[in-house]
Amino acid sequence: MSGKNIFIQGKWVKPHSEKTLEVLNPATGEVIAHCFDCDTIDVNNAVMSAKKAQKSWWKVPGVEKAKIMREIAAKIRSREHDLSRTLSLECGKPLCEAVDCVDWVAACFEYYGEYARSSYGNSIPPVAPHQINFTINEPLGVVAAIVPFNFPLLLMSWKVAPAIAAGNTVVLKAPHQNPLSNLILAECYEGLLPPGVVNVITGGGQTTGEALIQHPDIDLIAFTGSCNVGRHIAAVAGAQLKKVNLELGSVDPFIVFDDADIEVAIRGVAWARLLNAGQVCTSSKRIYVDKKIAPEFIRRIHEFVKTIKVGDPMKSDTDMGPVISKEALLTIEKQVKEAVSQGAKVLYGGKIFNPQGLKGFFFEPTILVDVKHGDLPTREEIFGPVISITTFETADEAIEMANDSKYGLGACIYTKSLEISMKAMENIKAGTFWINDPLSDNDAAPFGGMRWSGMGRELGEEGLNAYREPKHVHLDYIMETKSYWFPYTNRNSHK
């Protein structure tokens, strides 16, 4: 690994800033590395590197971009061992989840590599004889990509791959909590991408991140994170007329109707909520269960959650690891206590603990029952392993509660009824609506939020279009005067 330096202009350089931040292993609480807290000079160096490289990178033929991106993907797969273990170590993900992430990252570069050689614009029917109209899609310029701690590599690829496929260059700010895997992955750019096309810096949000979004030569800010930070970025971007692509938080619903296969629903709900210790933007944070099956569902999910093994994410039999930090741990604890004060009952878990003697940031897999719609677990994002169960009597009531939110990132349902599926889909605002298969992603399909869950889309052609803008070209291949030009007396004489 290239140590704690940063990647600018295709080289590993020591930052101007000498200030560093600790990188902790969330499973043990131990310091495993330090990263630089880059300052305005470092940010400017990265942005200028990207700006210098952008014009020539844009002109690289699409077929060559595709070749480079396939080679990057192959190099990522060749580094799977280092990447997945570092990801598990610094994030607390079970190792099998980290391995999956690395494969998804490589697949994203491959997918957008194909777009780089096949998508450029459209031909449009002309409005008059001897004319040709078409569009070309041009890159925006320099992209600031700011990624979160929960999926630092995957959500990096969702930004970097389409951005460079579209002809932009990038300054990536890795999350300060766990930047190491992104620094390793930057080695996959060496010798393949021209210098300056992707630059990787480290640092905190209030220092490095703020300097990056304020920089006048940034043309688009792509951010995944909290709504509060997203609002701030949108305000800064609005003042400077920068483009933004924001994927923010949510309190996603999951409805289990009475005709669902209860065994499938139990396992699906548990995975959709407890994946990555509940630290997933689209994890199902509001579980609505039909009263007719609720007693059986609650009894069986209780028994199932008790079997989930929490512990060292590097061990092959671990199902769930820690949350990212002590601060996150205390926030979850506070939210659970407030939910209980509002009338919720802790059926299982609900406490900070130390499995296997580990002194990291572990919260028990938790089940809250008797949660009333409108109380904290249905209004506020709990970014941790807490299953919150609310019951309903009719399908209409469930759909109405699911849609009663400021957010709209994702929604899941289990039902065998096509009528109920379509009714729920049409009435619940959500960027992704999963029917009987929770949280599956598809590189070819758009991902993003409605309402307070953000603006813009990642993945699919929509994700590519977020990083480019169309130029309309109007060509008349016969040069002639037009009857509708001045003087208008020529037109009036025909009346």
Query: What does pLDDT average to over the chain?
Result: 95
- In degrees rounded to 5, what are phi and psi of residue 383? -90, 65
Q: Mean of the pLDDT values across residues 72-94?
A: 97
Annotated catalytic residue: which of 38, 108, 227, 281?
A: 281
Annotated catalytic residue: which of 97, 110, 187, 247?
A: 247
* C-alpha of 333 from chain center: 25
Give the pLDDT confidence score for residue 490 in this predicted structure: 72
Give the pLDDT confidence score for residue 2 in this predicted structure: 40
Instruction: Name the percent of the chain lying above pLDDT 90.
Output: 95
Beta strands in 283-358 (DSSP E): 284-290, 345-348, 352-353
Dihedral sign, Cα of residue 458, residue 98, residue 383, residue 235: negative
Please name the amino acid found at residue 379: R
Q: Mean of the pLDDT values across residues 281-295?
A: 96
The residue with tokens 């001897």 is 130
Bridge partners, 280 (sequence order): none
Do residues 163 and 170 lie in contact, with contact meaning Cβ atoms separated by under 8 Å?
Answer: yes
- Does residue 281 carry a catalytic annotation? yes
- The string of pLDDT tens digits covering residues 410-454 is 999 999 999 999 999 999 999 999 999 999 989 999 999 999 999
Reduced to 3 states (helix: H, G, I; strand: E, B; else coil), residue 473 is: strand
CA-wise closest residue to 85 among 97, 67, 72: 97
Residues 6+ away with beta carbon under 8 Å from 307: none
- The string of pLDDT tens digits covering residues 167-182 is 999 999 999 999 999 9
Q: Looking at the predicted structure, is the pLDDT value of residue 133 above 80?
A: yes
d(CA 362, CA 325): 9
Total-model pTM: 0.94
In this prediction, residue 119 has a pLDDT band, given cuts at 50, 70 and 90, of confident
Q: Looking at the predicted structure, is the pLDDT value of residue 69 above 90?
A: yes
| Token pair for 21 | 């931040």
- Angle, helices 62-78 vs 80-91, to 10°: value is 70
- Does residue 35 carry a catalytic annotation? no
Please name the amino acid found at residue 201: I
Residues 6+ away with beta carbon under 8 Å from 197: 50, 53, 57, 164, 169, 170, 189
In this prediction, residue 494 has a pLDDT band, given cuts at 50, 70 and 90, of low
Rounded CA Rg of the chain: 25
| Token pair for 381 | 């994002």
- The string of pLDDT tens digits covering residues 84-114 is 999 999 999 999 999 999 999 999 999 999 9
Reduced to 3 states (helix: H, G, I; strand: E, B; else coil), residue 418 is: helix
d(CA 435, CA 415): 8
Taken in order of first residue, the domains within the chain and their CATH numbers are: 6-248+449-474 (3.40.605.10), 252-435 (3.40.309.10)
- Tell me the CA distances in angstroms from 2 to 35, 183, 188, 279, one per residue in order: 12, 7, 12, 28
The residue with tokens 């096509």 is 418
| Token pair for 275 | 């994946």
Angle at 109 between CA 47 and CA 449, to 5 degrees: 80
Give the pLDDT confidence score for residue 4 in this predicted structure: 66
Instruction: Name the percent of the chain lying above pLDDT 70.
Output: 98
- The string of pLDDT tens digits covering residues 363-396 is 999 999 999 999 999 999 999 999 999 999 999 9
Half-sphere exposure of 174 (CA within 13 A, CB side): 31
d(CA 200, CA 223): 15
Give the pLDDT confidence score for residue 1 in this predicted structure: 39
Q: Looking at the predicted structure, is the pLDDT value of residue 152 above 50?
A: yes
